[in-house]
Structure 1
Amino acid sequence: MIVGAGPTGLVLALWLTRQGMAVRIVDAAAGPGTESRAMAVQARTLELYRQLDLADAVVAAGFPNPAFNLWVGGRRRARIAFGEAGAGITPYPFLLVYPQDRHERFLIERLAGLGVEVERRTELLDFEERDDHVAARLRGPQGEEIRAEAAWIAGCDGARSVVRHQIAAGFPGGTYSKVFYVADVQARGAAATGEVSVALDRADFVAWIGYDKDGRGRLIGAVEEADDVDEAGKACRFEDVSHRAMTDIGLEVERVNWFSTYRVHHRVTDRYRRGRAFLLGDAAHIHSPAGGQGMNTGIGDAINLAWKLAAVQAGRAPDALLDSYQAERRPFAERLVATTDRVFTLATAEGGFADFVRLRIAPLFAPVVYRLEAARQFMFRVLSQTLVSYSEGPMSQGRAGDVRGGDRLPFVATVDNHAPLSAMVWQVHVYGAPRPDLEAWCRTQGIALHRFDFGAAEAEAGLARDAAYLIRPDTYVAVAEPDASVANLEDWRTRHGLTLGQGAA
């Protein structure tokens, strides 16, 4: 049972259904959202969307935003072209702008195509765990009480998660004193392009995300006086927010199509799992929207958990595999919250020192950093989430070349080595010549062995000649074995109690 039909819950339902699990997805709302706070679909999400043949359709429906600009004191100090920074790193070297409301409708249609409908106006009241299932009480569309049972329950139900409260998970963190505003607008001016711009000023900032090249876009900024906003984060009009940073970059808003304010929190739950209950997305972590990471992180949670649930439910893995969900995803969420907290604090802090950093240090430092190819690539990897790694997690082992167990498999554009990853199965990759005993081991396990030639592109990507890379169903490397040792691969498999092929355990 999936509680919550936002992008996180919908992706979890899609990935579980694709792997043969029956799912029930409920949502208290009457329909999908009509307002959209999440706009950015990062490259790593698009890579994972290839598994269900979603990526091309999402890219076609959205707007590939080609560059990031930093403005300080009315001048553009730096520009990083995503296509240059991400070239060779991913098939999707851009920031895709795809509003969440449209994104949700797209995922709902795909889920319906698999025979699963979202149960609307259906609210989770509570649940209790039994020996081999969860028994839940729901309130239906007419106010009727519904009893339901499921093997597992996934809380994708947002910051006020009923599932999180039910399992008594903590949600430590805090709330910023300032208040964010978001506005969908029609604008003109030097910054009103189909790119991303961030403008810094004295205790003021504004971020512009272009929807197209004709001046349509999203503005994000901070309300100067939080006293003008009620406890729910509602109140002022667009006319009431500071326009100083907008004016500095010549951004003139001609029409406001939608405007909202809300308070910004930074929290990570202390428990992603209790027994048969799991927390994902905003139910597990919330943070400032700096960098457009929130929705993508929730989708990453869903795909990380989905293959593990499917394996355990099918008897191909022990229950202990599910503990690796928290072990892998919580450290990433903590780092993300800490990073976005620092960025947001720097952009909105008041006082002379903060102004000095924004208006004096940033203009000197940013152009130097952006001229360095390695720095540009690193920033793209962080933003795109292609740098996310589980190398410190309990399921990861070894290193071959620059690739560690737990890392995302590097992309090699010349051969598109990510193409086989569209199958949600275990597989082995060898770049060079596979050993005969490795081929025999893969046949015994019932998994595919994909062989690629080794050349300059593979070496540049950090892969090692003739090494064996055991790839998980969620496309991360589980084991990077430099000598392609079958003994080491088999030891890892038996230690974790896994059946790698799709047959019965």
Structure 2
Amino acid sequence: MAQTEILIAGAGPTGLVLALWLTKLGVKVRIIDKSTGPGTTSRALAVQARTLELYQQLDLTDAVIAKGHQVPAVNFWVNGARKAHMSLKDMGTGLTPYPFLHIFPQDEHEKLLVAKLESLGVSVERRTELVSFTEQADGVVARLRGPDGNESACEAIYLAGCDGARSKVRETIGTGFPGGTYQHLFYVADVDATGPALDGELHIDLDQADFVAVFPLAGKGRARLIGTVRDERADRAETLAFGDVSNHAIGQMKLSITNVNWFSTYHVHHRVTQQFRKDRAFLIGDAAHIHSPAGGQGMNTGIGDAINLAWKLAAVVKGRASEALLDSYEAERIGFAQRLVASTDRAFTFATGEGRLAGFVRTRIAPIVIPMLFSFAAARRFAFRTVSQTMINYRGGPLSRGTAGGVQGGDRLPWVAVDGADNFKPLGSADWQVHVYGEAKSELAAWCAQQNLPLHVFAWQDAHAAKGLARNALYLLRPDTYLALAEGSASPAALDRYFREVGVKLAA
């Protein structure tokens, strides 16, 4: 019987990121997928700033930025005319090293992740399907069907279900998938085109009859179109071709399509499973939650799930934490997933709503009100923090403690870069560390050295206070770079107490 520590079912971005983090942390993984290779017709496009921050730990950030496209502005079209233009250039300035909307299609993204995983000595086992699994006292035994049709057994300590909306793992553990499906049929197409909407910016047509968004891709004249099919054509989803859906909205935006590289239709769902974990099986990404593409949140949320879970699995497998640590995965992620589904549902309903009133609001009111709101710096920053996922925090969670200044345990570490001192630079280690802004007490430095806990001290700057950090306070960061503990006294006893309470042992 083949053995591994973590068996990962599903090799989309979520499964690949989980495999990468676990491999970096020294955990043995097997990752399987029914497909013959990375996706070629995927819909996810945006790589949000928080994902780019976390990708520093895998040395992936620069490659994602180099291969993708930064979107400088959003345009709204109504009745064949550009009615509003909103610059995105300064929305996230000072909040993150990556203050922009970044487009990097999921299919290209997956290829990059696969190559990175292979460089670490792990290959995706393609055309391999999870048939069933059973739990034992100390692990799971999975039945896998390989490319030749033969079945074999795999024994693992834990099973990670990254197997999408039709998850076999979720079906087996019976956690349900309540929610619904929107009635509209959507299409997605990767095209080469010319026209005023192929200027490197994002263009959205809010017409009452059709909805289409034109997302710029890297390379001249390349774009991805996402739009609705509203009338009787929606009943012919299986046989629809691009020519059947491309007339009205695309014509109004004056697009001239020179080549269609691929085309697909799909329905949008909004669902969240009732549990993210049952015993030794976990649900991650689309297996746990699916929602509308509004705001480009889906893939990034799955990646966030994977990173949240990876360091906890590694700590337990390596004997540095009890299994109780794994309960914090659902506690920290399910609430965010539920709120995300609710918020994207509202945005989706606004963008696709039918009827005279909905059309009036979308085509007459929104093009005026939205740019007006975005003229205020506070509104732009709030929108960026929400969409970029830099607003996500675990305040009040089972692993979060304390307050120092305006920063609480569970927060994302505020980014400060001044005089060449960037406090995000040490975050690539994917392990626990302590930050002090100002001066570190000698007893704190001695305790950290004794425990092999990295201590990073940054000379105090007014910029630190502006971000809510307290002078000389202690900030303990988790391996996923969220704050575990904020302690104004900077006492080593507070660190000792924290690790004892959460049941985590530091590496020797």
1:99-498 alignment runs, 5 A limit? 99-212=105-218, 214-225=220-231, 228-230=234-236, 233-241=237-245, 243-414=247-418, 415-498=421-504
1:41 aligns to 2:50 (yes or no):
no
> Once the two structures are superposed, what CA deviation does each residue of 1:459-497 show, in whole Å capped at 9, x if it has no partner?
222222222111000011111223324333332221111
Question: Does the aligned pair in 1 maintain the 2:84–2:368 contact within 8 Å?
Answer: no
CA RMSD of superposed structures (Å): 1.7
Distance in 1 (CA, whole Å) between partners of 2:468 and 2:204 is 33
Distance in 1 (CA, whole Å) between partners of 2:252 and 2:415 is 40
Distance in 2 (CA, whole Å) between partners of 1:256 and 1:88 is 39
The TM-score, its normalising length taken from structure 2, stands at 0.94
Unaligned runs of 5+ in 2: 1-6
Displacement after TM superposition at 1:441 (Å): 2.7
The farther-off stretch of 121-130 and 474-483 is 474-483
Unaligned runs of 5+ in 1: none
Distance in 2 (CA, whole Å) between partners of 1:238 and 1:115 is 41
Distance 1:354-1:315 versus aligned 2 partners, 3 A rule: same
Distance in 1 (CA, whole Å) between partners of 2:385 and 2:251 is 31
Question: Does the aligned pair in 1 maintain the 2:41–2:263 contact within 8 Å?
Answer: no
The residue identity in structure 2 corresponding to 1:28 is: K
Distance 1:244-1:227 versus aligned 2 partners, 3 A rule: closer
The residue identity in structure 2 corresponding to 1:171 is: F
Question: Does the aligned pair in 1 maintain the 2:184–2:234 contact within 8 Å?
Answer: no
Distance 1:381-1:112 versus aligned 2 partners, 3 A rule: same
Question: Does the aligned pair in 2 maintain the 1:266–1:337 contact within 8 Å?
Answer: yes
1:25 aligns to 2:36 (yes or no):
no
Question: Does the aligned pair in 2 maintain the 1:194–1:213 contact within 8 Å?
Answer: no
Displacement after TM superposition at 1:226 (Å): 5.7
Displacement after TM superposition at 1:243 (Å): 4.0
The TM-score, its normalising length taken from structure 1, stands at 0.95
> Once the two structures are superposed, what CA deviation does each residue of 1:2-58 show, in whole Å capped at 9, x if it has no partner?
011111111111100110110011111122222221122111111111101111122
> Once the two structures are superposed, what CA deviation does each residue of 1:170-223 show, in whole Å capped at 9, x if it has no partner?
101000000111111222222222122222121532111101463310111111
| Number of positions where the alignment pairs a residue of Structure 1 with one of Structure 2 | 500
The farther-off stretch of 242-251 and 4-13 is 242-251
The residue identity in structure 2 corresponding to 1:316 is: R
The residue identity in structure 1 corresponding to 2:440 is: P
Distance in 2 (CA, whole Å) between partners of 1:153 and 1:212 is 37
Question: Does the aligned pair in 2 maintain the 1:191–1:197 contact within 8 Å?
Answer: yes
Q: Report the 3-state secondary structure (helix = DSSP H, G, I; strand = E; otherwise coil) of the residue aligned with 1:186.
A: strand
Displacement after TM superposition at 1:306 (Å): 0.3
Question: Does the aligned pair in 2 maintain the 1:224–1:241 contact within 8 Å?
Answer: no
Distance in 2 (CA, whole Å) between partners of 1:116 and 1:296 is 23
Distance in 2 (CA, whole Å) between partners of 1:140 and 1:213 is 38
> Aligned residues: percent identity?
59
The residue identity in structure 1 corresponding to 2:507 is: Q
The farther-off stretch of 443-452 and 304-313 is 443-452
Find the counterpart in structure 2 of residue 502 from structure 1. 507
Distance in 1 (CA, whole Å) between partners of 2:309 and 2:424 is 21
Distance 1:373-1:73 versus aligned 2 partners, 3 A rule: farther
